[in-house]
A and B are shown apart, each in its own frame.
Chain A
Amino acid sequence: MLSPLLASWLTSLRDVGLVLLPLAVGMTALWLLLPQARPRQVLISAFIAGTAALLVGGLVLLRGTGPDVPLLFDVLFWVFALLAVASGVAMIVQRNPVYSALWFAQVVLSTCGLFLLQAAWFLAAATVIVYAGAIVVTFLFVIMLAQQTGLAPYDRQAREPLLACIAGFALLAALQYAVSTAGKTSPDTVQVFAQPRQLPKVQQVLEEVRSRVKAGESPDDTGKLLYLQAAQPESFVGNILFQLAETLPPKERKQERDVCEAANAKISRARLTENAEMMVEGLDQLLALSQRLELRFGKSPLSRLREPHVASLGQSLYGDYLWAVEIAGTLLLVATVGAIVIALRRQEEAA
C-alpha cells in the first residue's frame, strides 16, 4: 500500500516528467544541430527532433483538446506553431548569418499567423510591419554590408552550445511547468484572466444561490457560495463577469461594467444587512448580464475574427493607457535624437 502522500508525489512526478521529456529530447536535438567543431549528424538529430515533435503531439492527444474549435483552426494552429519552432531552431543552427536573419523573419511571420488565429489582426499586422518589414531588413542590410568574404569564426562555431541549450531548457521547463499546472488544478479555478467558458458554471452558481435565498436561507451564508474558489476575491462570480465585460467593445463595455458594479454593490450590501429581497435583485441582474455575455462570447472563434477591434484597441491605448503610451513615445523620440547626435559626432571625428 502506498501512502496517499507518496501516491500524489508520484503522480506529480509523472506529470512533470511528461512535460519535461519532450523538452529534454528537443534540447538534445538542438545541441547536436548547433554548429560545432565536429561534423554535424543531421540525420540523427533530425530523427531526435522528430521524436520530440511526436512526444509533444502524443502529450496533446493525452491531455485532450480545449474548447470546440473548427478543424481548420486546429490545423492552422499546428502548422503555424510547428513552423515557428522549426524556424527558430533553423535560425540558431544556421552558419550563414543572412539565412539566420531570414529564418528570424519566418519565425515572426509564423507567430503572426498565431496572432491572427487569436483574432489579433492589428497586432499581427503591426508585428509584420515593424519586425519582418523593418527590423529584419535592417539586419540584412548590416549583415550584407559588413560581411565581405567567408564566415567569421563566431558564425562557424557556437561558443557554448551545451550551456546555452541547458539554460534554454531550464527556462522553457519552468515556463512549461507553470503553464501546465495553472491549467490543471481544477476546472472551477479562476485563472489569471476570466474565461468565457466559465460562464455556464457562473450561471449555475448564481441560480443555486438564488433558489436557496428564495427558500429562506440567510443571504450572508449563501453569499459565500458565490466564490468559485474559497476566499479568493478574484473568483467572486461578480468579478469574473466584470472582467469579461472589460473585454467588450467600448460602447457596451461602459454600460455592462456599470451594471455589474451596481449588482455587486447590491449583493454585498444585502449580505451585510441580511436583506433577501435585495440579494435576489442583485443576483437577477448578474444572471441577466451573464446571459448577455454568453450571447456575445458564445460565437465561434471564426465569427470573433470579424468583429471590429481596432477602435477598441485605440480606445484602450489612447484612453486607458494614454500616459504610458505618451511616455514611451517620448522616450523613443529622445533615444532617436540621441542616436542621431552620436552618429553625427562620430562622422565629424572621422572627418
Chain B
Amino acid sequence: MSLLITFLMIVVVMTAILTINSYLILLERKTAAWIQDRVGPNRVGFDLGLPFLKRLTGGFHFWGLGQPIADGLKFLFKEQVVPQHVDKVLYFLAPCVAVITALLAFAVVPFGPTPTPQNPDAFPFVIAPNIDIGIVFVFAVSSLAVYAIILGGWASNNKYSMIGALRSSAQIISYEIPLGLSILVVAMLTGSLNLERIIARQATEGFLGWNIWFQPLAWLLFFTAALAETNRLPFDLPECEQELVGGFHTEYSAIKFVMFFLGEYTHMITVSFLTAILFFGGWHFPFIAEPTSSYPGATAVKILVLVFKAGFFIFLIMVLRWSLPRFRYDQLMRLAWVVLIPLGLLNVIVAMIVLHWGLSRWWLLPISLVLFVGAGLIGTVVSTPDKRMIGHARQA
C-alpha cells in the first residue's frame, strides 16, 4: 500500500516537475523580455501554429502559452546530430546523468504540509518521508551532478567543451563547502538534518521562528553557493558564451541539449524549495497556514504557500541573471575560498558558541549582520592580486 502511494507520488511529482520546467523556460524568456523592455514570446497559442489545430482554437494566441509545447516538440523532432569525433557512450551518458541526479535530489524535499508535533499523523507530502539524513541526501546526489558536465565536456572531444567542464568541476567542488557550512548552522539550530523536522520547528515557533531571522548570513551564503552549484548567472562560467561558445554543451543539440537544461532547471526548483524550507518556514505562513489551522482546504493552502515561496526564489534567480554581470574565473574562485568559506566557518563557530552556552538565538541576528558588514569592509581595504594588477596597469 505504502509502496503504491510512493509510486503514485513519484509519478505525480516527476510529471509536475517536467511540466513546470518547460513553463519556467517561458517565464525565463518573459522575464528577460520585461527587463530588456521587449515583449517576449507571445505568438504561439495551443494550436502550435499547425493549420488543422488552428481551426479548433480559432487562431487565438493564448498569450504565448503554447510556446513551451511547441519548443518541446521542436527539440524532440530535430535531427540527432552526433559529431564524428565524440566518445559515443559517454556522450550519450552525460545528459542522462544530468537529468537523473537532478530528479533524484528532489526525493527528500517536501512540497507540501508535513507532520508537526501538533498533528504527528499528518500525511507527509514528500516522496521519501522521514529520511534521517535529509539534506545530506540532497548533497550526496547533487555532488554526482558534476559528472554530467565533466563527462559531457570530455566526451565532446572539443577544447571549448573541455575548458567549460574543467571550470565547472572546480567551481562545483569549491562551492559545495560554503553550501555545507551554511546548512550546518540550520541543522544545528534544529538538531536534525531531516527537512520535515526543520519545517516542523519553524512552523511550531511561528513567524519569528523562521531561520532567516537568526541566520540571514547563512541564507546569503546558501543562496550564493546554490547559484554557483546550479551554474546560473552570475556563476555560469562553464557555458560562458563569449569565451567558450557554449561551454560543456557546445557539441550537444536537440533533445540531448534539452536534457542538460532540464537538469539545470530542476536544480533551480530544488534549490528554491530548499531555500523556502531551510530559511523561510517551509509551508508555514502566519494566520493562513499554521500547524494548527484545520479549515477545509488547509492542505491545499499550505502546498500553495510553499510553492509560492519557492516560485519567488525561482523568479529572483531569473531576475539576478539579467541584473548581475558574469564573474571572471579567478574572481569566482576567490569569492568561494577567500570570502564565503571563512565567513561560513565564522558563522558556524558563532552559532556553536550561542548554542553551547544557551544564549538567546536572537544574538545570532546582530552577529550575522556584523560578520557580513565586517567582511564587506575588509574587502574594501585589503588589496587583492586583482587590484594590484590594475594598479600596475595604471602605473604603466
User: Which chain A residues have a beta carbon within 8 Å of chain B's beta carbons?
Assistant: 98, 102, 105, 121-122, 124-126, 128-129, 132-134, 137-138, 140-141, 144-145, 306-311
Determine whether the beta carbon of A125 is less than 8 Å from that of B146.
Answer: no
Q: In the bound complex, what is the Cα–Cα distance between A98 and B140 (angstroms)?
A: 22
A-B contact pairs, 27 of them (CB 8 A): A98-B154, A122-B133, A122-B136, A125-B133, A125-B140, A126-B136, A126-B140, A128-B140, A129-B136, A129-B139, A132-B143, A133-B140, A133-B143, A133-B144, A133-B146, A134-B143, A134-B173, A137-B146, A137-B147, A140-B169, A141-B150, A144-B150, A144-B166, A306-B132, A310-B133, A310-B193, A311-B192
Task: Judge whether B137 is part of the interface by a CB distance below 8 angstroms.
Answer: yes
| Chain B residue contacts of A134, Cβ below 8 A | 143, 173
- Report which residue of B130, B133, B150 has the largest number of chain A beta carbons within 10 angstroms of its beta carbon: B133
| Chain B residue contacts of A307, Cβ below 8 A | 132
Determine whether the beta carbon of B169 is less than 8 Å from that of A137.
Answer: yes
Q: In the bound complex, what is the Cα–Cα distance between A6 and B228 (angstroms)?
A: 70
The chain A residue sitting closest to B129, CB to CB, is A306
Q: In the bound complex, what is the Cα–Cα distance between A121 and B136 (angstroms)?
A: 10
Partner of B150, one of A122, A125, A137, A311: A137
Task: Judge whether B131 is part of the interface by a CB distance below 8 angstroms.
Answer: yes
Q: In the bound complex, what is the Cα–Cα distance between A145 and B169 (angstroms)?
A: 13
Other than the known A132-B143, A141-B170, A308-B194, what 8 A-B pairs have Cβ atoms closer than 8 Å?
A98-B154, A121-B131, A133-B176, A137-B147, A137-B173, A140-B169, A141-B169, A306-B132
Q: How far apart are A150's CB and chain B's nearest CB, in angstroms? A: 13
Task: Judge whether B48 is part of the interface by a CB distance below 8 angstroms.
Answer: no
Determine whether the beta carbon of A128 is less than 8 Å from that of B144.
Answer: yes
User: Which chain B residues have a beta carbon within 8 Å of chain A's beta carbons?
Assistant: 90, 130-133, 136-137, 139-141, 143-144, 146-147, 150-151, 154, 162, 165-166, 169-170, 173, 176, 191-194
Q: In the bound complex, what is the Cα–Cα distance between A311 and B131 (angstroms)?
A: 13
Nearest first, the 6 A-B pairs at minimum CB distance are A133-B143, A128-B140, A125-B140, A125-B136, A121-B133, A308-B132
Q: A121-B133, A122-B136, A309-B132 are in contact. Are A132 and B144 (CB under 8 A)?
A: yes
Q: How far apart are B172's CB and chain A's nearest CB, in angstroms? A: 8
The chain B residue sitting closest to A306, CB to CB, is B130
The chain B residue sitting closest to A136, CB to CB, is B147
Q: How far apart are A275's CB and chain B's nearest CB, in angstroms? A: 46
Q: In the bound complex, what is the Cα–Cα distance between A125 and B141 (angstroms)?
A: 8
| Chain A residue contacts of B132, Cβ below 8 A | 121-122, 306-310
| Chain A residue contacts of B130, Cβ below 8 A | 306
The chain B residue sitting closest to A307, CB to CB, is B132
- Report which residue of A122, A125, A140 has the largest number of chain B beta carbons within 10 angstroms of its beta carbon: A125
| Chain B residue contacts of A125, Cβ below 8 A | 133, 136-137, 139-140
| Chain A residue contacts of B193, Cβ below 8 A | 310
The chain A residue sitting closest to B135, CB to CB, is A125
Determine whether the beta carbon of B144 is less than 8 Å from that of A140.
Answer: no
The chain A residue sitting closest to B132, CB to CB, is A308
Determine whether the beta carbon of B133 is less than 8 Å from that of A140.
Answer: no
Determine whether the beta carbon of B143 is less than 8 Å from that of A145.
Answer: no
| Chain A residue contacts of B194, Cβ below 8 A | 308
Determine whether the beta carbon of B166 is less than 8 Å from that of A128.
Answer: no
Q: How far apart are B390's CB and chain A's nearest CB, in angstroms? A: 22
Determine whether the beta carbon of B136 is less than 8 Å from that of A144.
Answer: no
Q: In the bound complex, what is the Cα–Cα distance between A310 and B137 (angstroms)?
A: 12
Q: In the bound complex, what is the Cα–Cα distance between A144 and B152 (angstroms)?
A: 12
Determine whether the beta carbon of A144 is less than 8 Å from that of B143.
Answer: no
The chain B residue sitting closest to A143, CB to CB, is B154
| Chain B residue contacts of A126, Cβ below 8 A | 136, 140
Q: In the bound complex, what is the Cα–Cα distance between A307 and B133 (angstroms)?
A: 11
The chain A residue sitting closest to B172, CB to CB, is A137
The chain B residue sitting closest to A134, CB to CB, is B173
Q: How far apart are A304's CB and chain B's nearest CB, in angstroms? A: 11
| Chain A residue contacts of B151, Cβ below 8 A | 102
| Chain A residue contacts of B147, Cβ below 8 A | 102, 105, 137
Q: In the bound complex, what is the Cα–Cα distance between A126 and B133 (angstroms)?
A: 10
- Report which residue of B141, B143, B193, B194 has the largest number of chain A beta carbons within 10 angstroms of its beta carbon: B143
Q: In the bound complex, what is the Cα–Cα distance between A33 and B16 (angstroms)?
A: 46
Q: In the bound complex, what is the Cα–Cα distance between A308 and B134 (angstroms)?
A: 11
| Chain B residue contacts of A308, Cβ below 8 A | 132, 192, 194
Q: In the bound complex, what is the Cα–Cα distance between A15 and B84 (angstroms)?
A: 55
